[in-house]
Amino acid sequence: MTSFSANSRNSDNDPRQVVFVVYPDIVLLDLVGPLQVFSHALDPETGANGYECAVTSFESGMVETNTVISIPSEPISSYLKRRIHTLVVVGGDGANTAMRDRALLEKISKLASTAQRVCSVCSGALVLAATGILDGRRAVTHWDDCKTLEEEFPAVQVEIDPIYIKDGHVWTSAGITAGMDMALAIVAEDLGRPTALQVARSMVTHMARSGGQSQFSPTLNRQLLDATGRFESLHQWIAENLKLNLGVAVLAGRVNMSARNFSRLYSRQMGLTPAKAVEAIRTEAARNLLETTDLGMKQIAAQCGFNDEERMRRAFMRLLNVSPSDYRQGIRAA
């Protein structure tokens, strides 16, 4: 795939072309949330619109959404020979049909081949994955579609907790409103953080949402994956003993299993390794302390078993795409 600078355009005075791809039965907010973010963003150097947005579909015309409102669209084919800055594939229940529409996927692949940035919102990741663009990349989607994404496209490295993921020039976002978080992050990358903050302020939202960057409660997600409750008591014990050495051997001993067998069964059941599960539980505990206390970063890192601030910061960046200090700042702003 051709690679471009995220800020390159045909001319310094041209707005960045953003092309949204829709199909029948999309989630309306998957489209209009990011669309509104890009439409609000002004280039700090010129004061003009930073982006020029277009909504496209395979056949063009009015496209039904999951609401009473239908969306007008242009034909995808009219953008195949244009220089696209950011391509965004929207999500919705219709993604399950769209991801098997070979003609639509071919058009999306052609657009993506020359786009400087390729994105998906919510279950739009299923459509993007069907083109092969997500092969070998980290990706996220709506929590209810993560299992489908993982099973249908095993070459994709599916993650559950992040609200959005940037892997090279490819971005994916979690459920529905997460598309706005992703769009704000894109604006920050293109036009600078002050511009993104100004957009967030005008839309009465936050760069770092209160209540967590995770698209879904990690605790509840563990309960959904562990439907039989096989590891429920183990998860509770981990949460109560974060300062301990929580290696595989220790965890296996808690459930009376060999380390090898435990690691295999746990990974198969929960969709992540025991080490990553411990990191997620520690991060969740740290989030709670950031939200509810004035403890310093060093104290929180120690209480949650990270041992040092840098290790905690890396965990936050991997799982939440935000540093602990920025997370707390977002909470206080809220």
Angle at 65 between CA 130 and CA 117, to 5 degrees: 45
pTM metric for this prediction: 0.67
Reduced to 3 states (helix: H, G, I; strand: E, B; else coil), residue 157 is strand
Give me the pLDDT at residue 206, please.
61
CB 254 within 8 A of CB 241: no
Q: Residue 139: which of 157, 120, 116 has the closest Cα?
A: 157
Give me the pLDDT at residue 159, please.
86
Q: Residue 250: which of 196, 172, 305, 201 has the closest Cα?
A: 305
185: CB partners within 8 A, 6+ apart: 164, 166, 171, 196, 321
Distance CA 23, CA 56 (A): 9
Give me the pLDDT at residue 126, please.
98
Distance CA 219, CA 232 (A): 10
Give me the pLDDT at residue 210, please.
41
Instruction: State both tokens at 9.
Output: 């355009």
198: CB partners within 8 A, 6+ apart: none
Reduced to 3 states (helix: H, G, I; strand: E, B; else coil), residue 86 is strand
Give me the pLDDT at residue 7, please.
46
Reduced to 3 states (helix: H, G, I; strand: E, B; else coil), residue 129 is helix
Mean pLDDT for back-to-back runs of 10 residues, the chain (334 residues): 41 83 97 96 93 96 96 95 95 97 97 96 97 96 88 92 90 91 94 89 67 48 70 92 96 95 93 92 92 93 95 91 85 63
Give me the pLDDT at residue 12, please.
58
Residue written as token pair 């739009």: 124
Distance CA 334, CA 329 (A): 9
